[in-house]
Each structure stands twice: as C-alpha cells, then as structure tokens.
Structure 1
Amino acid sequence: MDTVTVSDIQLEYEIHGTGEPVLFISPVLSDGFVPLLAEPALSGRYALIRYHKRGWSGSTHRPGPVAVADHVTDAIGLLDHLGIDRVHVAGHSSGAAVAAQLAQDRPDRIATVALLELSLLSVPAGEAFFAQAGPAFQAYADGDAERAIGLFLSLVSGMDGERCRTLLDERLPGSVEQAVKDADTFFGIELPALAEWRFGAEEAAAIRQPVLSVLGSDTRPLWVEVAAFLRATVPDVEERVIDGVGHLLHIERSRPVAEALARFLARHPLAS
C-alpha cells in the first residue's frame, strides 16, 4: 500500500480502478473491504479507495483518545492529498460512523453515503450488545487479545467461533492475525470513541446526501434497530437487505452487496 502523511499521521491507502471515486472505511477488520472491491460490479466502474485508519495495520499508532471526528479529519486529508474534491463514501460498522460524520461535517465533499450496518450504540439495543460482549472485554482485560478478538467477531457475525474463523481465513487470509495485532486500538480506542459518538435524530436529519442503508437478513438486533432508526430519521435513505448473512455481510456475500452499491451509485452520479 502507499502512504501519506496527514497532520503528522501516516495513513496506508490504495486505489483500484478508474472512474468516480468511492472511499471505503473499515472497522475492526482493517482489510475487510477487499472481497467487495474485487467484485466486477464495482471494480470495472469506479476508483475504489481503501485505507487503514490511524491505529490500524501499518498506519500510525498513537495513544488515544481518537474520536470519530479525528478520523473525519484524516479522511479529508487523504482526499486532499489525492486531489479529490467530491467522493462517494461507504463504511461498515464503526467505519460507517466515520462515513456518517463525514456527511455531516463536510457535505461539500461527500456526494453519497453507504452505511453497511452502522454501529450506533446509543439505540436501546446497544446496552444489550455491550452486555453480550462482556466475555470479549474480559478476555482483553486479562491480556488474551486473540481470544478477545475471536469472541467479539463471533458475537457480531452471529457465527460460532470456528465457522467465523474459517470464513475469514478463506475470504481474508491473515485478517484475524492482523485484528489481534490491532486489538489495543480496537478495544482501547475505537470502541470507547464509538460509545461516546453522538448520532441522534437531529444529526441523522442533517444528512442531506442520498444514503444507502445495507443490512443482512440474519443480523443481530442491534443493527436491525439501527436500520429502523435510519429509516425514520434520514431524509433521503434507501435500504437493501442481503439475504442469508449477518454483520459480515460484504465478506460473506460480496457480490450482492457490490451490486446493490453499484446500482445506488449509478442512480446518484457525482455530476448530478
């Protein structure tokens, strides 16, 4: 991957293809969008940009706190470096929080927003989710990062640990090992920032760009509730449900997710 320095932070990034630019923002699996970006529905039509947020993989690791707003600043700095004025943005889980904040803070730079199961912990189901994640938090506190990441990925995916690990090893070789290396960032910086992030009805209503909300038919109650919140509050939102998948929807079934995103982008070109 290439690197760029933004406000003394080094970010790793890469671009695939040509066409209208689309910026992808990942959560705990820093390379989680790789299968999606390889799909022909996207790869032959767009300039697909993915990067490692600060604290992830080879990007700069610094002690926290790092707020969602800091990731927004980093993303805009990356776009400035690339000479990109306006961009489509897509985020998954906590990466979708950065995408949503980008749309609010820099509407002049963001043309459309795709939210793949936005993680919003302030909805009622958020408290129950945190309780369910207790064993993962305890494992991390006990110094067992590998067990902590395994438990957390199993929880969010809705799969048992062995099935989840098999899926990730097949679709994203090395991703679990990298997530373990990034565990301090995830548990110590990312999740606290997500818990403090405020995105209520007023903030959702402030997003004026076209929004695509994507969720899996078999996902956890947290993301079902978040999707309902988006339907009720975002002025211009479309929803797409991907059959037979949970929170790792774009890894489990990348093709229908890519096709849904491509159709959405085609309806809302940058020039419109």
Structure 2
Amino acid sequence: MPKVKINDIDLFYDIKGTGEPLLLIAGFLCDHAYWSLIMPSLISEYQVIRIDNRGMGRSSASESQYSIKQMAGDVAAFLDFIGIDKVHLAGHSMGGQIAQELALAYPKKIQSLMLLSSLAKGDQLFNSIIETWGTLLNHVDLKLYEKILLPWIFTDAFYSITGMIEGLIEFAIKYPFPPTTHSLYHHSRAMLDFDTTDRLEQIHCPTLVLVGKQDILTPLKFSQQLAQGIPNAELVVIDRGGHGFLIESSDAVVSAMLNFLRKLKPAYTNLGF
C-alpha cells in the first residue's frame, strides 16, 4: 500500500471505491484500519480515502512535538498531492478534531463534514484521562494498556459478548504496526491543546455530528456543543454503543453517515437521472 512524502513525514494512505471522494480520519491510538467494518458500505457509493495520522500505523513522525493543526496540514498537503480539490470528510474522536481544523483552515477543500464521537474542547475529566493515556504505555505493557482503555470505549453490552474484548486485545497485541510511546504522548498533548469553541461558527459546510448515547469518554454534551456551535449542524445520537460505536454499532453508524451524505446529492441524482 502506498506512502507519500508530506511535510516531514512519510504518510500512509489507502484508496478504494469510485465516486465522490470521502476522506476518513481515525482518532487516538487508531490507524486507517479502525474504519474497516463500515468500508464495504461506503465504497459501494464513494471513493473512500483513509490515512494514518503522523506517528500512527504506517505513517512516520519525528519525536518532536506535533499538533492538531499540523496534522490537518498533513491532510491538506496530501489532498493536493493526489489532486483532489474537495472531499466529504469524516473524523472520529481526535480525527474529528483534525477534521474541524481542516474545515476551518481549508474550507474550500471540504464539501461536507462528519464529526463522530468528537469534541471542541475537553473538560477536566476528559483531559485527565487523555493526559494519563499519553504516558501510560511507559509504565505498562500493551496488553494491560488495552485493558485499562477499553472500558472507556465499549459498553457493558459489548463486554457481555463472550470473547469479544479478549479478541480485540489479542488483535492489538499482534498488530504489526503498534503505537509508539512518543507518538501516543504527542497525540495526547495535541488533543489537550485543542480548542475550537470560539471558532465553530466559522464552519459553514453541511455538518453531521454523530455520537453514541452511552459514550462516556466523549459524552453527548460534547457533541451537543459542536452541533449548537456549527451553523445548521445536524446531531444524531446512536442509541446502542459508546465511544467505540464504529465497532460496536457499525451498521447504525454507517447508515447515519450515508443518510446524511445522500441528502446532499442533487435532486436529479436522487431521482435516478
């Protein structure tokens, strides 16, 4: 799979499907594979582009500090490189922060915006969790790290499925592109430094804000703030699922995304002309 030299990094990307381009940006601790369960539905209608953020998955990064703004700049430069002028854009969690910054800094590149389990600014509880996650891998192995994080990501109902959590932990341990301690640290600090609360009104593209009703990491109030701050944004709450609803409730999530995108198509397209 291809990489491209962008700014000071080698950025990994994956492109599948045909149609209007749809760019997906994953969040903290995740790379492009996090979107895998909803890919079949998306590529049936769109050219889906996934990337690994700097320092995650197969994208490189130096050990120096980096920011959400810098990661948004990586994406903008990547779009220029592949010759795409405008995209539908979706970001999950930290990926939603990157997506907000893209929409603010490069509005002409963004056709629509979907913010999944994301936020404009963390509260004290969120900040404390993310600060800890940024340094925790220095003190525990990856298996224990995952065991500590996953209760914040998935619901009790998901934990009740026999072997599900154990399988996810096993997958993370065996994954050939594990996170590095310095990348987790810099990603966490980028999230903590991020704040768009006073700039949300400057986002003018069609926007969907999507959140799981049982999300305890980025709770409903964060998405309500986004939807209230972004002009004419649509808020959709998925009844079943928490922060990890891309895995736990993938069918409901992709249905909400496609319903939103279909409403943006011209009337003649919807009529089959």
Compute the TM-score of the two structures, normalised by the length of structure 1: 0.86
**Distance of 2:89 and 2:12 partners within structure 1:** 17
Contact 1:88 1:110 in 2 (8 A): yes
User: Which of these residues, 242, 246, 249, is aligned with residue 242 of structure 2?
Assistant: 246
Contact 1:139 1:145 in 2 (8 A): no
Structure 1's 94 and 167: CA in aligned 2 closer, same or farther, altered over 3 A?
A: farther
Contact 2:208 2:233 in 1 (8 A): yes
Higher mean C-alpha deviation, range 1-10 or range 105-114: 1-10
**Distance of 1:160 and 1:151 partners within structure 2:** 18
Contact 2:224 2:235 in 1 (8 A): no
- Deviation of the 1:185 alpha carbon: 4.5
The alignment-based identity, stated in percent, is 24
Between the two structures, name the one with larger relative contact order (CA 8 Å, sep ≥ 6): 1
The answer for the alignment partner of 2:137 in structure 1 is 140
**Distance of 1:253 and 1:46 partners within structure 2:** 21
Structure 1's 169 and 146: CA in aligned 2 closer, same or farther, altered over 3 A?
A: closer
Contact 1:16 1:49 in 2 (8 A): yes
Letter in 2 for 1:153: L
Structure 1's 83 and 166: CA in aligned 2 closer, same or farther, altered over 3 A?
A: farther
Contact 2:6 2:77 in 1 (8 A): yes
**Distance of 1:69 and 1:165 partners within structure 2:** 41
Q: How does 1:1-272 map to 2 (within 5 A)?
A: 1-27=1-27, 28-30=29-31, 31-39=33-41, 42-122=42-122, 126-131=123-128, 136=133, 139-159=136-156, 166-167=163-164, 174-175=171-172, 177-178=174-175, 181-200=178-197, 202-220=198-216, 222-269=218-265
Letter in 2 for 1:215: V
Structure 1's 134 and 74: CA in aligned 2 closer, same or farther, altered over 3 A?
A: closer
Structure 1's 176 and 269: CA in aligned 2 closer, same or farther, altered over 3 A?
A: farther
Letter in 2 for 1:184: T
Letter in 2 for 1:29: C
- Deviation of the 1:7 alpha carbon: 1.8
Structure 1's 138 and 196: CA in aligned 2 closer, same or farther, altered over 3 A?
A: closer
Structure 1's 66 and 133: CA in aligned 2 closer, same or farther, altered over 3 A?
A: closer
Local SS of the residue matching 2:34:
coil
**Distance of 1:167 and 1:70 partners within structure 2:** 35
Contact 2:131 2:188 in 1 (8 A): no
Letter in 2 for 1:32: Y
- Deviation of the 1:180 alpha carbon: 8.3
**Unpaired segments ≥5 residues, structure 2:** none
Compute the TM-score of the two structures, normalised by the length of structure 2: 0.86
**Distance of 1:179 and 1:116 partners within structure 2:** 26
Contact 1:29 1:175 in 2 (8 A): no
- Deviation of the 1:102 alpha carbon: 0.4
Q: Deviations over 1:137-184 (max 9, x none)?
A: 674342534322431232233459976995467689834544982142
Local SS of the residue matching 1:32:
helix
Structure 1's 246 and 176: CA in aligned 2 closer, same or farther, altered over 3 A?
A: farther
Local SS of the residue matching 2:62:
coil
